[in-house]
Amino acid sequence: MGRGKVQLKKIDNKVNRQVTFSKRKTGLVKKAHEISVLCDADVALIVFSHRGKHFQYCSDTSMEKILERYERYCYAEKRLHPTNDTDIQVNWTIDFAHLKAKAELLHKNHRHYMGQDLGLLNNKEIQSLELQLDTAIKSIRARKNHLMHESICELQKKEKAMLEHNNVLAKEIKERERNMAEVQQMQLPSSQQHLGQGHPDASNFLLSQASTSYY
């Protein structure tokens, strides 16, 4: 015998209503997960119980990204197809609400990155936040190491250029000293040059001759 058709209406019994809610919610989350995996679709599911407690499922890393994508889609649709002045005014209202929601989301993410207001995040959101921070730290360290390497290479180039310049200056100084010595040698009298070339003690010999003639 086949199963009878269930009439869709509110269940009056609170216990039966809660049991049905729990079962149907589990099945709904299962179906959402299946369609996200089988069809490679982005799925966001939000359920509020009659007591105000909410349950959610998302196939992406965070519910905020899917909701932001949904808001952008709705915003683009309404911007492309305005029908009258009322719709234009509504679009401005939507713009304000969209920007306000985006600003609030940015402030909330900033607080999370600073390690604040983490009590409202579940385990999956905490892991996603930790992964984002690890990725950001790796990027920052890679950029810092790159800048340090460039700085070291630049200093090494400057050091090499200074050494080469010092070598050039040292050669110029030696060349000038050699030229000055040659000029001084050329300025001596020819007799002194001859004596200086023939006798190693020419200067002493000249001095002794001069003293003998004096006496």
- Identify whether 211 is part of a domain: no
Predicted confidence at residue 206, as pLDDT, reads: 46
What is the mean pLDDT for each group of 10 consecutive residues in the chain (215 residues)? 67 87 90 90 87 82 77 67 56 71 82 81 83 89 93 94 93 91 77 49 50 47
- Could you say which of 21, 40, 59 is where a domain stops? 59
> In the 8-state DSSP scheme, what is residue 146?
H
pLDDT of residue 214: 42
Rounded to 10 degrees, what is the CA torsion of 76, 78, 79, 81? 120
Residue 46 counted as domain residue: yes
Q: Is residue 32 part of a domain?
A: yes
Distance CA 176, CA 22 (A): 99
Whether 204 is covered by a domain: the verdict is no
Does residue 129 sit in the same domain as residue 145?
yes
Domain boundary among 73, 94, 120: 120
pLDDT at site 170: 93
DSSP 78: H
Whole domain around residue 107: which residue ranges?
63-120
Structure tokens at 15: 């216990």
Q: Which amino acid is at 150?
A: E
Residues 147, 111: one domain?
no
CATH number at residue 48: 3.40.1810.10
Answering whether pTM is above 0.75, one says: no
Other C-beta atoms within 10 Å of 159: how many?
A: 10
